[in-house]
Amino acid sequence: MTDESQIPTACCETASSNKKHTSPFSQFNISSTDILDSIEKMHCPTCSRNVRYFCNKCLKLVNCPEGAIPELKLPIKLDIIKHEQERDGKSTALHAKILAPKDVEVYAWQDMPKYENVDRLLLLFPSPGAKQLSEIDPTSFDKLVVIDGTWEQANKMSKSDSPLLRMKRGT
């Protein structure tokens, strides 16, 4: 249940620019999160780790009642390429796989797909020559790719010889 009167329509003015910024969440109908307070830790049925809400190794919900966590449908497919040394517990990219399991795939960097169609992929990563998303024709790509790691790891991944190097880049 959503009580919209409880959701602030965040809108603020920055002192420096005097431009009005609207919260990116103001258009969303966000449900109550009260259910999260009632979900206890439990051992993941697959790997036995004691976790709350989801297992960040198996990337599955754990001990969440059916329907308690919404499953999202994204407007585009998303691949997350994760540095092997990025700690799963620290990664916030993995939440995308939990919330939109049918649209998101997570790959270890060394096991990333070969991607025969790199020209149809858009790597979201700040780089020289990367265009703003608003400047990129949305029909020019079928899938977004993001890198998950520390800035140092991500920089190394983006410059190493891999399909990431051949993707067009947006920021």
CB of 57 within 8 A of CB of 88?
yes
Is residue 58 at the binding interface for Zn ion, with CB under 5 A as the rule? yes
Select the residue interacting with Zn ion from 57, 77, 143, 168 (CB under 5 A): 57
Q: Identify which of residues 47 and 74 has a Cβ nearer to Zn ion in the complex.
A: 47
Binds Zn ion (CB under 5 A): choice among 47, 72, 108, 133:
47
For Zn ion, the closer of residues 50 and 160 by Cβ is 50
Closest separation between CB of residue 48 and Zn ion, Å? 7
Q: How far is the CB of 171 from Zn ion (least distance, A)?
A: 34
Q: Judged by CB under 5 A, does residue 94 bind Zn ion?
A: no
Q: Does 117 bind Zn ion (CB under 5 A)?
A: no
Does 44 interact with Zn ion (rule: CB under 5 A)?
A: yes
Residue 142 exposure: Cα atoms within 13 Å on the Cβ side: 6
- Element containing residue 153 per DSSP (H, E): helix 151-159
- Tell me: does residue 46 bind Zn ion (CB under 5 A): yes
Counting contacts by CB under 5 A, is residue 32 touching Zn ion?
no
Binding flag, residue 50, Zn ion (CB under 5 A): no
Closest CB 14 distance from Zn ion, rounded Å: 43
Q: How far, in Å, CA of 113 to CA of 160, rounded?
A: 15
Query: Do the bridges between strand 104-108 and strand 77-82 make them parallel or antiparallel, or are there none, so unpaired?
Result: parallel
Residue (20 or 87) nearer to Zn ion, CB: 87
DSSP E strands: which ranges in the chain? 11-13, 20-22, 42-43, 50-51, 54-55, 60-61, 77-82, 104-108, 121-124, 143-148, 168-170
Question: What distances in angstroms separate CA 148 from CA 4, 32, 78, 110, one per listed residue?
Answer: 34, 29, 12, 13
Instruction: Give me the least distance between CB of 52 and Zn ion, in Å please.
Output: 12
Type of residue numbered 13: E
55: tokens are 């297992």
Residue ranges binding Zn ion (CB under 5 A): 44, 46-47, 55, 57-58
